[in-house]
Structure 1
Amino acid sequence: MRCRLRRCAARRRAAPPAARGHGPAGAVDRRGRGVLRRRRHVLPAPRCADGGLRSQPRRGGAQRAQGQPTGAAHRAPAGGRLVNAHRQPLLQVLRAAHVRLGLAAVIAAGIVLTLLSLLTLRTYVEQNLQLVARSIAYTVEPATVFDDRAAATETLALIAAQENLLSAQVARRDGSPLARYQRDGKATHDAALTHLGTLLFPLRAAAPVVHQGTNFAEVTVQGNGDVYLLYLLKVVAAVAGCMAVIGWWVSRLSRRIESEIVEPLNSLASLTRTARTERSLGLRAPPARVHEIHNLGEDFNALLAEIQAREAELVAKHDDLKVANESLSYLAYHDSLTGLPNRASFLQHAARAVITGRGQGSNAAMLYIDSDSFKSINDSLGHAAGDDVLIETARRIRALLRESDVVARLGGDEFAVLLAPIRGAEDATRIAEEIATALRAPVTSSRFGAIDTSASIGVAVFPRHGHTAQALLVAADAAMYRAKTSQPGSYCVFDSELDTESDAHLA
């Protein structure tokens, strides 16, 4: 402002006296200097050659029309360089646009993959916990039915530790706990991870313990979110790594001419959408002329192949786990040598038969079978001969029974037979006689020839000789002991008076 005032004063001094405000008589305009001092912010309007005022355009309009920024008229040479510095080359603009578009697409794909991974993992966690709860319910069913707290706690702790559960509980129908499990030794970071895992995954599942159509208890499990959360973090890290790699390739592809880039990228994007929406993991990106786009397509193909292999691996592991669970379930309730049910399975069948007989008023019988010469066969011919005798004994007994009857190997050379239902004790004695006769025939072995053997049988009838499966088994065992001591190879029906000595011996 002061510079403009000084230039104005200099022009007034250089002007003729008339122009400086002197009249014809040379009188001085006394207002000039005083007005100038009082109105230093008012600039004098430029004058034309004839002394008239020249109109001055408004600042900014003409300058904007000429492409100059407002207020830069007195810096025209520098202003030209400044305008050129703000304008970017077309290649740089296209590259920046490609980079922004690529980053947006990569981030969107990463979010979609992360969400899909989270949803898939949530589904897997929910199904796995439900399967574990059902497995526990199936395993603790006998202990729940007999209200065996120790067996239920032991079974629950074993399965919960194997499945890495945080807690598990078996509650009776009235809500009182039968067995509990709680993992010990949680660290601070474990607690934080567990809390975060609880927010992301459904970590609770429940399954009823059903026996004969009746709900005896309910199993509640709480999973460990640490494992699933760590797996999710690995997936997020892998997605972030893929996003970084894809972003770098996009920046390289932006250096190409757009006509050479758009079509391959559109083809790859279409393939990505098809693979993601239709789960067509067998699709592959075709070769491209541009080296970078070709590498990007190969990486994408490798990623699809890895995902496809991972899914196939997960399916194979699931099938193997299912087969292993079925095998373990079979081994838990069957004898490996003869293929017959074991003691635990036999007692379950017997308990169900007792409950059915008590409700319907029907009879049942239990036969306790013990070999008379098994020890001598093992000592003289060896355990291989004993195995042949056991296998043939199981086959002969099974051949004489109905489909509804149950024969089991209790252990060693001891077998048990459950006959349910029967009309009376005469049915049980008839079957016992047939089994004793069949077992008196020599066993023909391809390695040891004919092996002489026999078995003693004890008979107990429900409900006359016992009201529970365990009581019937004890009574049949006592009757078998009397048959073995009196006449090996025969059978005896339980008699409370005659088998008192046998009961004392068994106790």
Structure 2
Amino acid sequence: MTRPATFQKLLRRGHLRVASAAVMTFGCTLAVIAHVLMSGVQERHLELVARTLSYSVEAAITFRDEQTAGELLRDIAGREGLVDARVLLPDGAVLASHVTPDSGPVDRLMRRVGEVLMHSEARSPVLLDGRTIGLVRVRSDGTLYAWLLVYGAVGAVLCIGASLAAGTLMTRRMERSLIEPINQLAALTRSIRSERTYDRRAPPARIAELQALSEDFNAMLDEVQLGQAELLATHRRLQSDNDLLAHKAWHDELTGLANRSQFERRLQEALNSTGARGGHLAVLFLDADGFKAVNDTAGHAAGDRLLTMMADRLRTAVRETDVVARLGGDEFAVLLHPLRSVDDARRVGQKIHSLMTQSFDLDEHGHFHCGLSAGMATYPLDGDTIPALLDTADRAMYRAKHAGKRARHKPLTGQGTPYPTPHDKIAQ
């Protein structure tokens, strides 16, 4: 595929063509005018020379004086630039003649050119008392006219050269005012396209059309930048919505704790990690005792506040690597991982027991004491799958809930051992 010409080349080429055409047109027009004028002048000049010569040779023709006629011809031919002069008798015989010899091939060529381009012959009768006694015929030397043409052609070439030089200088000046702003705008466009920097703007131009182009380009960049800002804002909103949806999908809406889905996912990850590296983990199931009474006595808003406060206390009782989840209603679960031994899980259980024995401040509803029943399952002692661990912990928690006061004070052990906490009365 042929590469297109640059605007700079087209501009220079156009200037050269216009300058050349203008000079050539002017030169040709001037040459035609000069040719017409000089042809007329030359024709009248030859007629005057022939008439003058006819007066001069009247006596020589009358007396048939060839020598005098020849001298007159040579004298006038030399002065008037005649190449050929003849005096003819009425019968066509030549009384006298003079031919100017060529000085060389160049002079001969110039003379021929002049004879072709100009009317170079004139005739005048020689009269005596109203009758014709002879004829004078002269031909001009066109060498001067041919050389004038040569000088004119040389001058035209020089004019063309000067015009081209002037056109080149004008083109260079126009490049600075026309092409450079276009190149700058093109470079800015490439830079914006490659770097995505839509905050850049085209500089002002001194030419009205280019200034209008720059303003339109900047307006387009404003729209692009505005559209980009809207897209970014939309993306942020969508990202925020996605994050919120993802958070809702994996967290409990009331307490902000992990929900059952996330708890089971994290438990599976912990089982995979512990099974590969060895070690222990524990699952605690917790259930608030007497929570329904809080709802019935103080209302559901107070019950929600109580659940939130319980969730906060559970967070403080475990490490960042552990997982606290709300399974639904007043049931919670805790994943303790990693563990060096089962005794670590018992210490966490004691800490949770200590925190939950403290009263909960429900503002205008007073302070409440809410008991908590707990059951624990450990890996690998109580199972190595999620269903096995959850079932063991759940059953242990329900045994603790129904075991009564004596069972609630037993120490927490492994293998699904219930871990009861005090069931205090609801007090205001």
- TM-score normalised by length of structure 2: 0.50
Larger relative contact order, structure 1 or 2 (CA cutoff 8 Å, min sep 6): 2
- TM-score normalised by length of structure 1: 0.42
Larger radius of gyration: 2
